[in-house]
Structure 1
């Protein structure tokens, strides 16, 4: 995921970089589609777009019909602040830079599923698109209650892949300036209504009111992905994520070599003190002395 929210200039640079990259790779020329894992196969398929009309999806009509059956159970759960956790806390995924203010969740389906909403889970399993619960439990998505506090923001960012779509069903929507912008277009929630979008496109959320905003968030397979393709696409995405993880965190040198440098208490080349060093990886590895700040490259 590319996150460039600290300065507006950086966000613009990120968009331009992705636009050039997409052009070179023969992809859709959109600076908004900036997810880390773009599946190029589905980009040219009919119906692929950043924002969808919920009326195009029959299962959402069914979701709206059954929502009154689960709303009381959801309201009861939301009444206790201890039922929700900071977004991504249990999965160690959330980047604190992407939010301002209070943003919490309750996981219904997905990693670290919460205890509760048992009746609601049964109802949802009946109406969610085929493969949604499996996608969540395989690590490709989640179904959650997402609560954004008053005067909170989720800064411009992108989801990890374009293989899935996101549906927001409005549970509690305050009156005032509260909305979401997807690929440059502003959308507004309504209680009991749904907005559907591809979170691989840049999006941001804000709640400039005194009250909290709550949505039922559902990630489900992008309908342009054929059922027969799902398993392989998901496995490919997982493998690419694993490779990205290795590139980011695994040292480009043998771990035993680093272990030897650390255990022998190598002296700083600047102040000649031992210890108090931090090992960093950067085309090899380097040792940062915490005493004087000098860097020894190895």
Structure 2
């Protein structure tokens, strides 16, 4: 019995590739199948078969070949993109979106110029299918009043599922109080006492303008502490581009500054100011000079909210808290948890941005819990203060 000679697999590869380039798809497939029958196929061979089957108008066969290619190499960029295109042509938008997304993520890190050149098209296709999927879901959920104020959390849940938003958790730098709701921007309607604060906007702004006439009144918001190491992270330490004018600082009033701005404290009379001797409240005007960007960061604890009353807000100013970015509106207060990652900027080329900032207790804390938080942080501050022992926290 005569044994058939083993196929020349390198020749089969060269001949298959040549046939494919010349548009002889059936011949190309036959050459590549010599390699698969010999059990020597890799991802490239299966991609060649897929390309031949596409030319032969065989979408199901193309997809089978691409699945084999991805079984050999799940990160093969050409196989991922061809699979995305195959599903797109077949009308399976969700599968196409998944493969386009995977392709874009991997292609952005590759040095292959041909694959990188495909990124814009893949992104456009992904955006197209994402929009269609979004429209489908919203049409199916019309009974749930997503566009109404009471649908806010439902909208957030849907955005997270669709990948239009990210999850940002409370990550205070120093003190975490458990089981507080993970909220970035709080709902303004939950704080009716802010009506009194907002009503005083014009009077407070007029006093601020008088303070601004004295340039030395403001000092850098981030200051080095003489008994702590300082690395000047992000160039903030001692930087006058982010400056403050304090009415209360580290839990103590600054009488001469309060006297210069007599409208502020009456406006805050009903605010549940966070009271921790030696630390809070902090009540101050916060100034951002043109071009200033406060890099993403977290506050020191999650047991309080930070309140802003915008007073001078030119175009190009905004703040991001977690996944939500908002521009300030003069006279409209906002409340947020600064233990959630946040950043702010003033991209206006000429004008200052100034807001009044003060901190309040989280409303979920009981009186006993507020007293506990205050006692803990006072104890931290007291440790080593008189004995020369290094303090645990600042």
Give matches, 1:257-272, under 5 Å: none
Shift of 1:37: 3.2
The equivalent position to 2:334 in structure 1, one of 174, 185, 195, is 195
Normalized against structure 2, the TM-score is what?
0.48
Partner residue in 1 for 2:195 = 61
Give the 3 Å change call, closer, same or farther, for CA 91–170 of structure 1 in structure 2.
farther
- Structure 2 residue ranges without an equivalent (≥5): 1-165
For the residue of structure 1 that corresponds to 2:330, the secondary structure is coil
Q: Does the 8 Å contact 1:107/1:114 carry over to 2?
A: no
Q: Deviations over 1:86-106 (max 9, x none)?
A: 113386688732456611100
Q: Deviations over 1:159-197 (max 9, x none)?
A: 00001100111110011x211111121011011111210
- Structure 1 residue ranges without an equivalent (≥5): 1-28, 252-298
The equivalent position to 1:162 in structure 2, one of 290, 299, 302, is 302
Q: Does the 8 Å contact 1:42/1:225 carry over to 2?
A: no
Partner residue in 2 for 1:39 = 176
Q: Does the 8 Å contact 2:275/2:374 carry over to 1?
A: no
Shift of 1:50: 1.9
| Alpha-carbon separation, structure 1, partners of 2:280 and 2:179 | 17
Give the 3 Å change call, closer, same or farther, for CA 197–228 of structure 1 in structure 2.
same
Give the 3 Å change call, closer, same or farther, for CA 103–83 of structure 1 in structure 2.
same
The equivalent position to 2:232 in structure 1, one of 80, 83, 96, is 96
Q: Does the 8 Å contact 1:98/1:157 carry over to 2?
A: no
| Alpha-carbon separation, structure 1, partners of 2:177 and 2:274 | 25
Shift of 1:241: 6.5
Give matches, 1:271-286, under 5 Å: none
Higher Cα Rg, which structure: 2
Shift of 1:212: 1.1
Give matches, 1:58-137, under 5 Å: 58-89=192-223, 96-99=232-235, 102-111=241-250, 113=254, 115-118=256-259, 120-121=261-262, 123-125=264-266, 127-129=268-270, 131-132=272-273, 134-135=275-276, 137=277
Higher helix share: 2
Q: Does the 8 Å contact 2:246/2:257 carry over to 1?
A: no
Normalized against structure 1, the TM-score is what?
0.62
Q: Does the 8 Å contact 1:98/1:156 carry over to 2?
A: no
Give matches, 1:222-261, under 5 Å: 222-240=362-380, 250=390
Higher strand share: 1
| Alpha-carbon separation, structure 2, partners of 1:195 and 1:131 | 15
| Alpha-carbon separation, structure 2, partners of 1:35 and 1:54 | 22
